[in-house]
């Protein structure tokens, strides 16, 4: 049986596709970077893949809102294909701009298991009103509904970089209560000791409600996160590698390895 196949989708403005491919290839997946036009023209079929990754960058220049144009284009062009992909329990991951795209397309938060016709959340301008590019600490919530990260330990505090101007996760109170009730919060920003950031800057770098850094859908196979695990995949990418000794892999590898393990079991 051949290797599981991963599709990294890209459009104009995407800039983290190659780093993501290098990491997924290293994890044993057969990975292709595909421009969305190839799907639209029938040169590739989404159903041939087990993992769909929407990577970081500035799709279509982030005009209107970050991820808005790409999100609406996905929704209008192949909503049915994405719905079938999700219903087959295949994995969908959005990183940074990809997270914004999943929110703008209505794929996330996916509370009732379906794609909404309009966004039920937003990733707004950072509360600092500036682009934030820094290393942050991230806490994984094992009690969440996410099925993509079964190998991650609840007590693990990850150090992963961010790079965004619109990462402030905001929802209405009704949707927020649904997110909490369904256990959709996967990652939160935290302090170095793992304690909650409680909105304190710079531990929470963008002002996100409940310190949210990543969420999943109710089904648990779609996840979006603002931090970039592919930028912390190898040990030499970590900011303190000279002091702690060069390790083969960095903290981001824990996230991507867990996702790859889920895909391999499909």
**Enzyme catalytic residues:** 96, 228, 230
How many other C-beta atoms lie within 10 A of the C-beta of residue 178? 17
Distance, CA of 44 to CA of 83 (rounded, Å): 17
- The residues that bridge with 35 in the sheet, in sequence order, are 10
DSSP secondary structure, 104-162, as one string:
HTT-SS-TTSS--SS-SSEEE--TTSS-EEEEEEEEE-TTSS--S-TT--TT-EEEEEE
Distance CA 175, CA 75 (A): 21
CA distance linking residue 99 with residue 93, whole number of Å: 8
């Amino acid at each position: 049986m051949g290797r599981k196949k991963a599709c990294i989708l890209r459009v104009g403005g995407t800039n983290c596709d190659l780093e993501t491919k290098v990491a997924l290839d290293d994890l044993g997946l057969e990975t292709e970077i595909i421009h969305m036009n190839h799907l639209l023209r029938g040169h590739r079929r989404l159903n041939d893949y087990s993992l769909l990754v929407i990577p970081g960058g500035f799709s279509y220049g982030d005009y209107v809102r970050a991820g808005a144009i790409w999100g609406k284009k996905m929704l209008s062009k192949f909503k049915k294909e994405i719905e079938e992909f999700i219903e087959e329990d295949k994995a969908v991951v959005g990183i940074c701009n990809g997270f914004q795209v999943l929110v703008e397309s209505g794929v996330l938060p996916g509370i009732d298991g379906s794609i909404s016709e309009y966004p039920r959340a937003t990733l707004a301008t950072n509360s600092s009103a500036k682009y934030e590019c820094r290393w942050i600490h991230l806490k994984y919530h094992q009690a969440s509904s996410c099925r993509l990260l079964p190998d991650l330990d609840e007590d693990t505090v990850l150090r992963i970089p961010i790079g965004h101007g619109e990462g402030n996760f905001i929802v209405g109170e009704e949707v927020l209560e649904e997110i909490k009730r369904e256990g959709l919060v996967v990652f939160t920003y935290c302090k170095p000791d793992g304690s909650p950031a409680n909105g304190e800057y710079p531990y929470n770098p963008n002002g996100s409600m409940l310190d949210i850094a990543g969420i999943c859908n109710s089904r648990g196979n779609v996840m979006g996160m603002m931090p970039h695990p592919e930028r912390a995949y190898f040990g030499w990418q970590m900011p303190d590698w000279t002091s702690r000794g060069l390790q083969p892999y960095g903290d981001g590898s824990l996230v991507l390895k867990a996702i790859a393990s889920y895909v391999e079991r499909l």
